[in-house]
Amino acid sequence: MSVQSYTETSAASDYWRGFRLGVPVMVASAPFGVLFGALAVQNGLSVWEVVFMSATIYAGASQMVGIDLFGQTIAPWVIVLSIVAVNFRHVLYSAAVGRRIGHWTSWQRLVGFFFLVDPQYAEAERQGEQGGTIGFSWYMGMATPIYVMWVVDSWVGASFSRLLPDTHALGIDFLLPIYFLGLVMGFRKRPLWLPIVLASSAASILAYLYVGSPWHVSIGAAAGVALAAMMPPTQEAIADYQDPPAEDAGEEV
């Protein structure tokens, strides 16, 4: 087998390994995609405007905030700040993942950051902690089913909104929080995990009660980051951040 054939086979294998990781996320996020499509139509968007929004923005929480605020008598800067509040966590995501994908080309990093949603970040961090190099094929393999089905689910919700049952009444909308809880629990072996999670959770709940949505997302994240910054780093954390995975280090996934 030639080097080129081996490389192509390895890339295909990595892609499908990532694809399998994306399938559970695709299933868990389906009710939210359908719900967004239905709500967007009820707020005055056409079916194809809904599809275009999901395909270009690809940020469920921000899209929900957007359709809730669009059409109201609200200053544009309030809408912008609300969406920034929801998406501020992606600044942290890109900083963390960026050091693991330095071997990607510029266009690969550009594409990769577009698909950097919550589960994508969590799986990339998990793979990096296990000593593997994050391969572009693996990354895109996971992103493909999540992205494609998010757009399709939005179209389904927009097209058949009157026929869809209430996901809140059925409890289907709880699938995604359960999935995110599993992602958080996956990091439980990290040093200082418990106090940071507790601080972030408490701050988020208090912000939700006394400040309101969507600010509780960023306030909770900021509380966790602040506590982590104040606590002394462990030797393991220092070694990890001083010597991130190199291009040829570890097994590519």
pLDDT tens profile 202-249? 998 998 898 876 677 778 878 888 888 888 766 665 665 555 554 444
Q: What is the pLDDT of residues 8-34, one digit of tens each?
A: 668 888 999 999 999 998 988 888 888
Q: Distances from the Cα of 19 to the Cαs of 8, 99, 112, 233, 234, in angstroms?
A: 16, 23, 15, 35, 34
Please state which of the ranges 41-50, 141-150, 216-225 shows the lowest mean pLDDT.
216-225
Burial class (CB in 10 A: 0-12, 13-18, 19+), 213: middle
Of 38, 41, 227, 248, nearest in space to 135 by CA: 248
Please state which of the ranges 65-74, 88-97, 200-209 shows the lowest mean pLDDT.
65-74
Residue 195 has pLDDT above 80, yes or no: yes
State the average pLDDT for the chain: 80
DSSP 110-142: HHHHHT--HHHHHHHHHHHHTT-B--HHHHHHH
- What residue spans define the domains of the chain? 3-187
